[in-house]
Structure 1
Amino acid sequence: MPSPHAASPRRAASLALGSSLLALTAAQAQTAPPTTGTIDLDTITVTATKTPETAIDALSGTSVITREQIRRLQPSRLSDVLRDVPGVTTQENQNDPAQAINIRGLQDFGRVNVLVDGARQNFQTSGHAANGVFYLDPELVGGVDITRGPTSTIYGSGAIGGVVAFRTRSVDDILLPDERMGAVQKWSFGSNGQRFLNSTAVGARIGTAADIFGQFVYRNATPYRDGGGTLVPDTGSELQAGLAKVNLRPADGHEISGTALVQNFDFTNRGSSNAGARFANAVAADTYTLGYRFARPDVPLIDFSAKGYTTTTHNRLTFLQDTASGLYGQLGARAGSRLDYDIESPGFDVHNTARFDTFALSHALTIGGDGVFDRVRTSDQAGGFGAAFTPSGTRTLTGAFIQDEVRYGGWLRVIGALRYDQYELSGGTYRSSGERVSPKITVGVSPLPWIELYATYAEGYRAPSVTETLVQGIHPFPAFTILPNPALRPEVAHNVEGGINLKADDVLRPGDAVRAKLNVFANTVDDFINIQTVGPTYFVPAIAGIPASICARIPGRFPCVIPVQSYQYLNIAQAQLNGVELEGTYDWGGGFATLAATHTQGRDRATGQTLLTVPPDRISTTLGLRFLGGDLTLGTRLTFVAPRRDVPAGSTVLATRGYGLVDLFASYQATDRIRADFILQNAFDRRYTQYLNLLPSPGLTAKAAVSIKFATQ
């Protein structure tokens, strides 16, 4: 670990740069031209209602992340940008490129519906980390659309936490409207493990009849050091990815679209905490979609969309080295033994929106249905623990919905919706099924042109997953038993939410803009599913590798001296989650400032115990200044996270201290063809571990990127 004296010049330089930015703010506020930049909350969203509207106008906790924000921050993981969204956090293993999204304290097993180009991402393996992750490199992402809470009734089964929809890049991300074909070549280099990134994107428009897009991404990362200078093993990985898109418009209003996304990740680790057996991982995460849409202004009764997709995630693990106890070897695993996790999720989404008037009321009536069919297959010749804790099985989720958005007089909006959900689950000799109708009602009132208030009551329904129902096996060490539970009941969320949307221009000076959203929510989840201890206490060996069966003969005597209970997924009576979220932007042309704040509480109402998945309070803010007519942007991002210490003893979740992070960034559009980006992450080299993660996060990291564009008109 470096001495404080060795680190002080670096920290002093970061402090000096941050002070310089603050000094520039005062000067820029007086001299900047009144040209307003693009505001994220003015970006179009569809996750709240399936009908296009800006995020600031959505009557829900809706946020967006634009491509420009992703380019500016140069994220190595999507968690780098998601932390700027209120109510949203992530859980990840730093030694695995996958990540899980947590919304308002809910995550795992599909509670957050993650979509990539409309295709659900349902991959899950059990361990000491998140139970539901997805693989997607941020360089492939063109934008993110997020709606928090079960208010998005018509956007898929199970989303009692919310919906996160990722849009991959397209031809519009690299070509201006008057450009016919072109390419963008990007190279990025970094420190602290961020070695190299190559992104090559090409696209072409064939008049208005068609467009095509392709992208190749290669990313190479090596193990990083945390803020204390300690090397964190196995935190490197290699990615090779390809993306292809085509859109055909055979006639006015008709569009046929197809997407193929292929990602291959290679990495090695010793499990989520780097303390288990060593495996080489080869992950193939592929998504294919085919869609059709008809929409034309002169046919208001038809805005029809149909999409079919298939998502496959396959993780091939190769056993390399055992733990110190030799436990895997005793169970027959040898170097080269294989463990395969595979999930295939074909699905569909079909809906139509009809727009019409009845007297003074304007309607947007949406009717549709969706479905996803999960097939989980685990093949384990490396000890058997993988097959036990991520069992094979199938689950079918189907649903139908109807929603009417009603507007009156420009000041009143009412959204009413009903969703019918049905599921079937099977594996081995177990079968289960269920169905339910979930309502939603939202009322929005705009007493003044710049303010809108709304209130929502919405319900959501989540079927048990294959793992929660069928998991069965013995934990490696200590050797307690995990039991299946085919009698699990689905979770039902009841969410009450209120909010205020503010939208005003020319507030302090001509050309400036203010956008802000404030949400308050209370979400009660009946039959919340959580893993619990069950049954009597029994003794297991205190020495790894000794068979647990020996303790049936000599309980309570050496080596059988560790008291344990079995575990099982159970329905607890109720989980109560409530909180406040604030998101705002002020843009004055010469610069911008953003703020996102989150406060969430969650507990088991039966026991009063705090839910472990509830993240600590967080505030993040970004200040950016524009120079040289907007070609140069300098800025800083600050993140403050409260401690989370109320973690029960013996939990695999670690208590965390509070921390603050400072990032510094610069973007320069040298010409209309050349752009350079630089970012200094964790500028003060703070040592910290994000809550729910088991490994410390990276220390000071610098990244620089150059993008060169070639285009013809």
Structure 2
Amino acid sequence: MGRIDRHQRALMGAVAFGVIVIACAAKAQEAGGVQDATPLQRIVAGTGADKVAIDTPQAVTVLDQEAINDQQPRTVGDLFAEIPGITTIGSNSVFGESINIRGIGEALSGDESRIIFQVDGVNKFYEQYRMGSFFSDPELYKQVEVLRGPASSTLYGAGAMGGVVLFETKDASDFLDPGDLFGGQLKTSWDSNGNGWLTSGIVAVRPVENFEVLGAFNYRQSQDLTDGHGNTIDDSDFSSMSGLAKARYTFGQNNDQSVFASYERWYSDEDNQKYDQIAWGADFGDVDRTVTDQTAVIGYENAFFGNDLLDVKVQASWSDTQVKQDNQDLVCFGPTTCIYPFGTRSEYSYKTWQSSVENTAFFKLSDTWDAYLTTGLDGQYQERRNARYYPEGVADGSGSHPEGDSTLVGGYAQAELIWNDRVTLIPGARLDYSSIHVGSVSVYDSRTGGFTTTDLNDTSTDLAFSPKIAALVKLSDWFGVFGSVARTERMPTLDELYNNYEVNDVDKEVSTNFEAGFTLSFQDVFRKGDAVQVKTTAFHNNLSNYYASYYNHTLGRVVTDVVPKARFQGLEVEAAYGSETWYAGLGGSVIRGDNLTNDIALNAVPADSVFVKLGYVYRPWNIDFGWKGDFVAAQERVGDNESKTSGYALHNLYASWKPEDGHFRNSELRFNIDNIFDKAYRNHLSDDEGAGRSFKLSFTQRF
């Protein structure tokens, strides 16, 4: 039997072990008690009827505040450790993180609109050669929702072939009980690996009735991490400051209206960082790098009390992500050829203005049929700038990162038809219009020390259509089946249209995705109030004109291949047991990506993986403790110029204490040990080694 078969058997053994853990947790119960919600019972942020993850005909996972706190995340990428089908890629650097969903997402390519990030409804996107794509701090958020697959394109934008990640920031109401005028929390945490510290403070006030204000500040720092061999992981050190200000005023009949505003900022300034934050290559030298990310939102909501046909939300926003690089090295290729590849200093800027309006109407079709219809319009205008300063002058962008302006306007409609809470049908469609403009391009010639100006002066327009239909049928109180068919088109990006200082003829990528699965939900299985829930999803995603980028070791540079026919397919499993005392969880994914044109494997397909979790809550003292194991198979199905990786298993312990009375009432103490055996390993989609053993401690005091 081959190595792949052995690894697959080991992974299936981990799945079986997880099922046994869930069963043992269930059988370990004592009589009496009330069950806590399992992860599959968390409410999904969306339109139409309120629903939980297990009752959604799409693969979706929600992390609430408790789940975020459990992980004691160091970076945003740490949040996704317990979500099947999503993998953090790039590096351990806070500047080098991106994500991969179901095999889509490459650290060395532009994945604009293949995976959509939103913060409080605002699209966030950043693309720079050998850098990450999203900069923020996990302490800002109270909920993260991951929708996997292109069906999410209907509401969030054409081309979301991998899926959508929604971040929701904290609100003042999270820290204010009815009647409170003042509240908040103080938090500090420590991480032994890298001697990392977090200091966080939140103040929430309600100065007058129906008016709430929140202010939050976070400072986080870490030295370089070490791996399981005790070696330093280069450039994993950082310090960052982040803050959040939010206000909401509620008014009208039955408080059905509100106006709101928010401002979020993340900032980090690091010296002597490698230009390459993905593979740590020395070819491009070092830089001093400052990263600033800002998001501002204003909006209005009106539920129109007594009118089922109107429930309106209007929002306008501004987003700005900037990276400034100073003291860039002179890089030499041989004894006589020395150049500044990106100038002595450079500035990357993505400024985006967005607006949206959405309405959800409710129709009572009959005693057994309810219907919701969500319609909306959204638009954005983005300016992308990249000034590069040389001793002889200033260049505008480069062949791999041209400057330009883009406009995107979309309209959508999605219906939700519900029969007797047994059958849910969700048809929907979206139409998007894109216009991308590039003007003159100033190019620096390192051989002559001069500049050449090319006047491209081109505007490219395109349309994308994204239809879908999804259905969930509860055949009984404990068994349901669901499925969906979704199609989306990804319009060419600025980089693809104007690469190498010329106008390129680029076709749209097209994704046609099929999903099917089943759900199991049992209540009062071994004791009153407990629950066992399972959700499985199989997907088959066919793509045409797929743009696959990777580092070609022979050529010594990143290349992009257009794959006429590609396919991603796989299986995702989520299972959970919950009761008043014992709980358990399991999540896993198996993903395959194939270049059907050349009959070879695609790059950037994650290894098969499973996590298993078992925990216990000692109610008299409100102490929660448990174990989590991460089991990752070897990845030997690799594409061209991609290295194979070995399988590994990581074991983690955690505990928390939340006293309900006494001097420490409203406080929370958490203690985690990650990678307790100091295992040396490498995530297949990362170019550096994984972090070794770490002791994590945090203390939070609410007031």
For the aligned pair, the TM-score class normalised by the smaller chain equals: 0.7 to 0.9
In structure 2, distance between residues paired with 1:92 and 1:567: 15
Deviation, structure 1 residue 140? 1.0
Residue in 1 that maps onto 2:563: 572
* TM-score for the superposition, normalised by structure 2: 0.86
- Aligned letter for 2:349? D
Query: Cα 1:233–1:292, aligned 2, differ >3 Å: closer, same or farther?
Result: same
Query: Cα 1:261–1:699, aligned 2, differ >3 Å: closer, same or farther?
Result: same
1:513 to 520, 531, 553: 531
Query: Cα 1:50–1:264, aligned 2, differ >3 Å: closer, same or farther?
Result: farther
**Pairs within 5 Å for 1:224-239:** 224-239=225-240
Residue in 2 that maps onto 1:538: none
* TM-score for the superposition, normalised by structure 1: 0.85
Deviation, structure 1 residue 615? 0.8
In structure 2, distance between residues paired with 1:64 and 1:462: 26
Matched, 1:260 2:266: no
Deviation, structure 1 residue 94? 1.8
SS at 2:683 equivalent:
coil
- Give the gaps of 5 or more residues in structure 1: 1-21, 473-482, 535-561
Query: Cα 1:286–1:60, aligned 2, differ >3 Å: closer, same or farther?
Result: same
- Give the gaps of 5 or more residues in structure 2: 1-20, 106-110, 440-455
Query: Cα 1:32–1:487, aligned 2, differ >3 Å: closer, same or farther?
Result: farther
SS at 2:399 equivalent:
helix
In structure 1, distance between residues paired with 2:637 and 2:572: 22
In structure 2, distance between residues paired with 1:593 and 1:159: 32
| Alpha-carbon contact 1:122-1:345 (below 8 Å) kept | no
Residue in 2 that maps onto 1:408: 419
- Aligned letter for 2:539? F
Superimposed CA distance per residue, residues 125-149 of structure 1 (whole angstroms, 9 cap, x where no aligned partner): 123x66xx11121111111111110
Residue in 2 that maps onto 1:80: 78
Query: Cα 1:602–1:404, aligned 2, differ >3 Å: closer, same or farther?
Result: same
SS at 2:600 equivalent:
coil
| Alpha-carbon contact 1:98-1:136 (below 8 Å) kept | no
Matched, 1:275 2:274: no
SS at 2:620 equivalent:
helix
2:615 to 624, 644, 648: 624
Query: Cα 1:205–1:339, aligned 2, differ >3 Å: closer, same or farther?
Result: same
SS at 1:80 equivalent:
helix
Residue in 1 that maps onto 2:13: none
Deviation, structure 1 residue 605? 1.3
Aligned residues: 643
Matched, 1:583 2:578: no
| Alpha-carbon contact 1:278-1:322 (below 8 Å) kept | no
Residue in 2 that maps onto 1:204: 205
Deviation, structure 1 residue 614? 1.5
Query: Cα 1:418–1:648, aligned 2, differ >3 Å: closer, same or farther?
Result: closer
Query: Cα 1:448–1:327, aligned 2, differ >3 Å: closer, same or farther?
Result: farther
Deviation, structure 1 residue 237? 0.4
Deviation, structure 1 residue 668? 0.5
1:706 to 693, 699, 703: 699
RMSD, matched Cα:
2.7
Residue in 1 that maps onto 2:479: 451
SS at 1:577 equivalent:
strand
In structure 1, distance between residues paired with 2:208 and 2:614: 40
Superimposed CA distance per residue, residues 197-220 of structure 1 (whole angstroms, 9 cap, x where no aligned partner): 101011123565121111100001
Superimposed CA distance per residue, residues 572-613 of structure 1 (whole angstroms, 9 cap, x where no aligned partner): 212211111111210021021111110111111111221212
- Aligned letter for 1:35? V
- Aligned letter for 1:667? S
| Alpha-carbon contact 2:26-2:582 (below 8 Å) kept | no
| Alpha-carbon contact 1:350-1:370 (below 8 Å) kept | yes
Residue in 2 that maps onto 1:461: 489
| Alpha-carbon contact 1:55-1:63 (below 8 Å) kept | yes
Residue in 1 that maps onto 2:654: 665
Matched, 1:144 2:144: yes
Matched, 1:164 2:162: no
Residue in 1 that maps onto 2:679: 686
Q: Using the TM superposition, name which of 380-389 and 112-121 deviates more.
A: 380-389
Deviation, structure 1 residue 339? 1.4
SS at 1:612 equivalent:
coil
Deviation, structure 1 residue 386? 7.0
In structure 1, distance between residues paired with 2:554 and 2:89: 30
Deviation, structure 1 residue 654? 4.0
In structure 2, distance between residues paired with 1:461 and 1:699: 41
In structure 2, distance between residues paired with 1:207 and 1:503: 44
In structure 1, distance between residues paired with 2:258 and 2:116: 26
Percent identity between matched residues is 27
Residue in 1 that maps onto 2:293: 285
- Aligned letter for 1:432? S
Superimposed CA distance per residue, residues 179-236 of structure 1 (whole angstroms, 9 cap, x where no aligned partner): 4321200111221214211010111235651211111000011111110001122210
SS at 2:78 equivalent:
helix
Deviation, structure 1 residue 292? 1.2
Deviation, structure 1 residue 629? 3.2
In structure 1, distance between residues paired with 2:657 and 2:332: 52
**Pairs within 5 Å for 1:407-446:** 407-428=418-439, 429=456, 430-446=458-474
Residue in 2 that maps onto 1:537: none
Deviation, structure 1 residue 332? 5.0
